[in-house]
A and B are shown apart, each in its own frame.
Chain A
Amino acid sequence: MIDAYLLIDFGSTYTKLTLVDVVNEAIIATAKAITTVETNIMDGFNKAYENLCAKFDTKEVRIIKKLACSSAAGGLKMITIGLVPELTVEASKRAALGAGARVLKTYSFELTNAEIQEILNAKVDIILLSGGTDGGNSKTILHNARKIAEHIKHIPIIVAGNKCCYDEIKEIFDEASVNYVFTENVMPRLNVLNVVPVREKIREIFMKNIIKSKGMDEANNYIDGILMPTPAALLKAGEILSQGTSKQNGIGDLIIVDIGGATTDVHSLADGHPTKAGINLKGLQEPFAKRTVEGDLGMRYSALALYEASGEKLIKEYIDVPDIETRCAYLHDHIDYVPQDDTDVAFDEALAKVATRLALNRHAGYLEIAYTPLGDIFNQYGKDLLETKYLIGTGGVIVHSKHPEAILKEGLYSPSEPTILKPKDPIIKIDYEYILSAMGLLAFDLPDCALNIMKRYIVEI
């Protein structure tokens, strides 16, 4: 009898199952089926489970635990509120993205009634309220707390701002019966980022409240826990793979590119400090585990947005077909379209290359050159990823492509854009078995097992 963990990803399109032999640290089987959140989430799960059971001897395997992550029903939708756009607004956005949320919009300074209405209309799952360093500005966060208390009762609020206002915010929120929790300030001092406590609170609320509201109650009863949103599981996998566990080392700095139908996500696990001498680091501190989401770069739903973001010229660099715009529009309207011929495949790969290139341009830090009386001086904003050791690809188009390396190479440093600090010569690896998010889940219980499996299954081309 083999002891196994069943890891489930209730994705926006597919419910993906990964069955792991936790003793021999091996993947037993994987399977998927269309996610059925509109009817009963378990229909899709049962279908996928049937597919899975056909792939192994059910008499030989005992499932000892079932863990899940979810991005079904639109994922975890958040808005974040801060004070200055470049500071607490950016800090709170990074915290929410790192927790695997979809950040629909960010708000700065004092909220207006129109903005409150917009937030109500957006039907978000969680609101993150920040603003002010500890001991710093209190006027804005108090104003925003009052506005929220007046209009928004039912949406959970996480307060992560100037701690000196917490007593007063508590009074305001208690009086109005607002559903809220406090955590540490997301930017306690100028340019110092503190995302981990906020990430944890988001995950707690996700587990407690969000599961119910997404029609996933039944799934929650069957399995041992829907632990987190899928992107958070992916980031967790990246953290373990990069940093290792208490018992063994990870593989070092890495970047994960995940090209999906609606978004392209980039995760970097790296400090991103300057790799050359004499560079002046500017701006808000970067999180070691950083996730960015490009909502306008995707293979299907966002194909038209990609066309608009990149322009026809850029796509033409990769594929010369006359009907680029028509094709993008078609893909946008047919999100389950599977390539039918060689041109379709080539077109998908061209879109994936554009998505990789633009997503890495936005994720990586950049240099700004200042011409001073002392000569050229460089300011660095964001992460320097020039020397990052590994670039890992995941997501359908990469996993199923015959040329995944060619797609990922579009994310490398380019002499034509010398100020963008993208990796120069990383080792390229592919998540062929599509196991990264499952390993993020497994890492919660068995980090060493997850690490060993990733080292074994996520391989160089």
Chain B
Amino acid sequence: MNSNGKTVVIGVIGADVHAVGNKIIEHVLTSEGFNVVNVGVMSRQEDFINAAIETNADAILVSSLYGHAELDCQGFREKCNEAGLTNILLYIGGNIVVGKQDFAEVEERFKKMGFNRVYAPGVRIEEGIKDLKKDLGLV
């Protein structure tokens, strides 16, 4: 697949070591023509943001599998704004909260934190890529 000219930063936030999904996301995004910058597992907000600055990224896709994303993502959008990434797209997906919570409420909470798209457990990366292409004006 030819490059589509868009750069995305991906990674797993917080004290979370789930590496398999991260590799799958990298693989699929790359095959869809994205320039993928992977900060890997156990990444801090600053790791995502620094990578996005140097690579002039269009979007940051945050993964979290261990249920503590709400704590790990506090202030993420504000830090992006501070770093001058004012228009960057922020997506998050995985198992982002603990327990059986109503996803509509979860989505609402994460959107309030400044995430543009929030995905429920089990959503495939292909769904996210459709949105990403739309949000970046590729389709």
Contact = CB atoms under 8 A, between A and B. Distances in A.
Interface in A247-284: 280, 282
Nearest to A82: B54
B6 to A, nearest CB: 11
A280 B17 contact: yes
A379 interface: yes
Most chain B Cβ neighbours within 10 Å, of A131, A190, A372: A190
A446 interface: no
Contacts, number: 64
A94 B57 CA distance: 25
A124 B39 CA distance: 35
Contacts of B24: none
Nearest to A138: B56
Given A84-B50, A87-B54, A135 B35 contact: yes
A137 interface: yes
B107 interface: no
Contacts of B136: none
Given A190-B51, A373-B66, A379-B42, A137 B56 contact: yes
A302 interface: no
Contact of B17 (A83, A138, A374): A374
Given A190-B39, A379-B42, A372 B54 contact: no
A372 B41 contact: no
A136 to B, nearest CB: 4
Interface SS of chain A: loop
A133 B15 contact: no
Nearest to A87: B54
Interface string A370-383: 11111001010000
A190 B37 CA distance: 7
Contacts of A86: 46, 50
B15 A371 contact: yes
Contact of A137 (B40, B42, B55, B66): B55
Contact of A282 (B35, B42, B67): B42
A377 B55 contact: no
Interface string B35-67: 101011110001100110111110000000011
Given A135-B7, A372-B66, A187 B17 contact: no
A88 interface: yes
Contacts of B17: 280, 372, 374, 377
A131 B16 CA distance: 30
A244 interface: no
Given A282-B42, A377-B42, A136 B16 contact: no
A299 to B, nearest CB: 37
A86 B7 CA distance: 20
Contacts of B57: 136
A187 B50 CA distance: 13
A190 B35 contact: no
B42 A84 contact: no
B interface, by DSSP: helix, strand, loop or mixed? Answer: loop
Chain A: number of interface residues, binned into ranges? 20 to 34
Nearest to A137: B56
Contact of A88 (B15, B54, B67, B68): B54
Contacts of A190: 37, 39, 51, 54-55
Contacts of B55: 132-133, 135-137, 190
A84 B54 contact: yes
A132 to B, nearest CB: 6
Interface string A75-100: 00000000110111000000000000
Given A190-B39, A373-B66, A137 B15 contact: no
B37 A137 contact: no
Contacts of A88: 54
Contact of B41 (A131, A137, A280): A280
A71 to B, nearest CB: 33
A380 to B, nearest CB: 11
A234 B47 CA distance: 34
Contact of A370 (B7, B15, B47, B51): B15
A257 B81 CA distance: 43
B42 A370 contact: yes
B21 to A, nearest CB: 15
Contacts of B39: 190
A282 B39 CA distance: 9
A282 B16 CA distance: 14
B34 to A, nearest CB: 12
Nearest to A377: B17
Given A190-B55, A280-B41, A280-B42, A87 B50 contact: yes
Interface string A131-175: 111011111000000000000000000000000000000000000
Given A280-B17, A372-B66, A377-B17, A137 B35 contact: no
Closest 3 CB pairs of A and B: A372-B15, A136-B55, A137-B56
30 contacts: A83-B53, A83-B54, A84-B53, A86-B46, A86-B50, A87-B50, A87-B51, A87-B54, A131-B54, A132-B54, A132-B56, A133-B37, A133-B55, A135-B55, A136-B54, A136-B55, A136-B56, A137-B54, A137-B55, A137-B56, A139-B56, A190-B39, A280-B40, A280-B42, A282-B40, A282-B47, A372-B15, A374-B17, A377-B17, A377-B42
Given A84-B50, A137-B55, 15 more contacts: A86-B50, A87-B54, A133-B55, A136-B55, A137-B54, A190-B37, A190-B54, A190-B55, A280-B41, A280-B42, A370-B42, A372-B17, A372-B66, A374-B17, A377-B17
